[in-house]
Chain A
Amino acid sequence: MNGVVIGVIYALAALGVSLVVGIMNVINFAHGELYILAGYFSFLFADALGWNMYLSLAVAVFLVFLFGIFIEYILIRPTYGNEMYSLILTFILSIVLQNAYLLIFGPYPNKPPTWIKGATEVFGLFFYGNQRLAALVVGAFVITAVFLVIKLTWFGKIVRAASQDREMAELNGVNTLYLNMLSFGLGCALAGAAGVILAPVFPVTPTAGVQVALTAFVVVVLGGMGSLWGCVVGGLVLGLVENLGAAFLSTGYKHIFGFIILILVLLIRPAGLFGRKEI
């Protein structure tokens, strides 16, 4: 059960990375810090300012979206054509953000209020925290929403077209610079969504984002670069494997299991579970 919850959140965080990789060929090293940022925002609004909880969640994600657009405009746009620069710049950004968080919020874990208290009996088998169940439901809901948007809307269509052939998309009248900005913002917003959903369960600390980003990258590679389905399957596989491994073998090696799975999958399918061959 824990595996599924964690898997969904992994998938959500990885979806943002994958979207940006697919369209822009840019890897955002600060992805984890944006996840944390949303966690801090929701803590700040709900706890310190006493806003309505749902409002603070929405505002937190929206602010991260705007911040993402700002990052794209200032840092990423000048680097098009050279992926190395954007890699280095976002890496620096992640360190800057970590230190900013440390200065502002201190090294202690911060935790926004939980949405619901108590626990529920699942299938008459065991008790499970309501907050975690809520995280599962909301996470699955956001993922479904993303897939519907990608499948059914004009925005989704141009996203898919541009990740296959961005020059051609431009020749079909798509303003790809604008699309980049929007999808980078959206990728960050997805990190933010994962952040606000999980923050009440796993409190945020200035450096907690590193682990999140690392896991998101593992999921993206596991699922296949740029494949959105791959993220969901990869996230679930990783979440389940880590938790089963931890349950049956040892908690200390939790993250090792993920990497073992990753290596095994890559040995058999070098492009990842759902990856396209040419990448």
Chain B
Amino acid sequence: MLQWTNLDVFRGETQVLWGVCLYIKAGERVAVLGSNGAGKSTLLGATMGAIEPKGGDIAFKGISLKGMRPHQIVRMGLAIVPEGRRIYKDMSVWENLQMGAYPRRGRHLLAESADIICELFPVLRERRDQRAGTLSGGEQQMLAIGRALMSRPEVLLIDELSLGLAPIITRQIFKALDALPGETTILMVEQNVEQALKHSARAYVLESGRVVRSGPSVELARDDHIRKAYLGL
């Protein structure tokens, strides 16, 4: 579905990603793990076209995304739940969802998608006309996920779902993602290694911009290095 090959990405003068290679197949749930500054957000930013890679390639269904602007990539079928959620605080919950459905494919199915999302996160239906800025952190994260799903993406990228959320809320949202129909491909970037491994089939470990480990999540959960460095065991 999506393939990253030898990706080199710079932030200003400094190289942040070094020859990163990943892939994700249709319908797969894959996690990218790494500590602060490992380059996880940079990877997603490059994928969405917000940051231009210096080298390597990113291909979606065999089509290179290089040189495309974010809105074009979104229209091809990718969507992102950005770091820090970035919901439109001054707009209502409903308008935030509508914004997610802005790409043509989303607009046709607006009512249907809204139903699916409110099924997934019933709070959003209750808060429909409330100003989004007044939602709690967890509700904002649900809204950010809902907004991304409104475009009916084939691939959903999620940047640090657990950021700043209580463990119980984090678990609840991960469960909701598990309940999504199987055809949604999800790449999640996480510092919460335990949860991410539990809710993904495969995972990559990113350290200082390089992929240092990869494999099925169950195996990585047993890996000594990962247990020491990320799970504190």
User: A172 and B90: CB pair below 8 A?
Assistant: no
Rounded to whole Å, the gap between the CB of A131 and the closest CB of chain B is 38
A154 contacts which chain B residues (CB < 8 A)? 102
Interface assignment of A254: CB less than 8 Å from any CB of chain B? no
Scoring B70, B89, B151 by chain A CB atoms within 10 A of each residue's CB, the highest score goes to B70
Give the CA-CA distance A168 to B82 in the complex, in Å. Answer: 8
Interface assignment of B95: CB less than 8 Å from any CB of chain A? yes
Specify the chain A residue showing the minimal Cβ separation from B85. A168
Interface assignment of A164: CB less than 8 Å from any CB of chain B? yes
Interface assignment of B147: CB less than 8 Å from any CB of chain A? yes
Rounded to whole Å, the gap between the CB of A62 and the closest CB of chain B is 27
Q: Known contacts A167-B50, A169-B99; decide if A174 and B89 are in contact (CB<8 Å).
A: no
- Interface range on chain B: under 10, 10 to 19, 20 to 34, or 35 or more? 20 to 34
Task: Tell which of B74, B89, B91, B98 touches A171, judged by Cβ atoms closer than 8 Å.
Answer: B74
User: B90 and A174: CB pair below 8 A?
Assistant: no
Specify the chain A residue showing the minimal Cβ separation from B150. A172
Main secondary structure, interface of A, reads helix
Give the CA-CA distance A158 to B103 in the complex, in Å. Answer: 12
**B34-53 near A? 1/0 per residue, CB < 8 Å:** 00000000000000101000
Task: Tell which of A172, A175, A177 touches B99, judged by Cβ atoms closer than 8 Å.
Answer: A172
Rounded to whole Å, the gap between the CB of B73 and the closest CB of chain A is 9
Number of interchain pairs (Cβ within 8 Å) = 59
A170 contacts which chain B residues (CB < 8 A)? 50, 69-71
User: B70 and A157: CB pair below 8 A?
Assistant: no
Interface assignment of A252: CB less than 8 Å from any CB of chain B? no
User: B99 and A161: CB pair below 8 A?
Assistant: yes
Give the CA-CA distance A190 to B95 in the complex, in Å. Answer: 26
Interface assignment of A160: CB less than 8 Å from any CB of chain B? yes
Task: Tell which of A158, A164, A167, A175 touches B89, judged by Cβ atoms closer than 8 Å.
Answer: A164
Interface assignment of B88: CB less than 8 Å from any CB of chain A? yes
Interface assignment of A173: CB less than 8 Å from any CB of chain B? yes
Give the CA-CA distance A177 to B106 in the complex, in Å. Answer: 21
Rounded to whole Å, the gap between the CB of B116 and the closest CB of chain A is 18
Rounded to whole Å, the gap between the CB of A154 and the closest CB of chain B is 7
A165 contacts which chain B residues (CB < 8 A)? 86, 88
Rounded to whole Å, the gap between the CB of A155 and the closest CB of chain B is 11
Task: Tell which of A157, A158, A172 touches B147, judged by Cβ atoms closer than 8 Å.
Answer: A172
Give the CA-CA distance A188 to B102 in the complex, in Å. Answer: 26
Inter-chain pairs besides A161-B91, A170-B50, A171-B71, 8 sampled, C-beta below 8 Å: A158-B102, A160-B90, A161-B88, A164-B91, A165-B88, A167-B70, A170-B69, A171-B50
Shortest beta-carbon contacts, A-B, top 4: A173-B103, A173-B74, A170-B70, A168-B86
